[in-house]
Amino acid sequence: MAETEFAEGQPKKKSALVMTIAGLAILTLLGAAGGWVVGRLVAPNIKGAEQEEQAKKAKDEAAQKKEGEAGLPHISTEANNVVQLEPITSNLAYPSENWVRLEVALLFNGPPDVKIAEDIHQDILAYVRTVSLQQIEGPRGFEYLKDDIQERVDLRAQGRVSKVMFRTFVVE
């Protein structure tokens, strides 16, 4: 009698194993089909967003070109007497891992002088390389930096430049 019970239990184990494998296969197929459907629903939105983003970038680039043309020219006309210097990028004296970037414009009393503007640009660059991060920290440090640069410009230009205008100042 024990043998008949044992023989009857054997086919049940095989059918349970087959049913488990079949269930896993069905769930895998359902998961793959569901992923495919969701992918088809989401993918057009992603492609549309990429196209919108590219169009937006193209508009931004066109606007920047127009702004660049409409902004301050590097060598201005006699009408406004303003010269925008090339951006100054240099590392600081201490810590030397930190970098500073300045964009400065000069307001001349009379017609702008390119030679003086280039000399002032080089003088400011040389000065920025001697400054430490602790000297320019905070609003008071920035004011001291502006005053020092204005003093250097006054000495170099001998009264031909009335004002130094900071357009950008970034420390990294």
60-69, 97-106, 157-166: segment of lowest average pLDDT = 60-69
Looking at 71, 100, 118, which one is the last position of a domain? 71
- The verdict on 91 and 166 lying in the same domain is yes
From 131, 148, 137, select the one nearest 96 (Cα to Cα).
131
Count of structural domains within the chain: 2
Beta 161-171 vs 99-108: how paired, if at all? antiparallel
Entry pTM: 0.55
Last-in-domain residue among 71, 90, 125: 71
Condensed to tens digits (0 to 9), the pLDDT of residues 104-117 reads 999 999 888 889 99
Which range of residues forms the domain containing residue 17? 1-71
Non-local (6+) Cβ contacts of 164 within 8 A are 104, 105, 106, 107, 146, 149, 150, 153
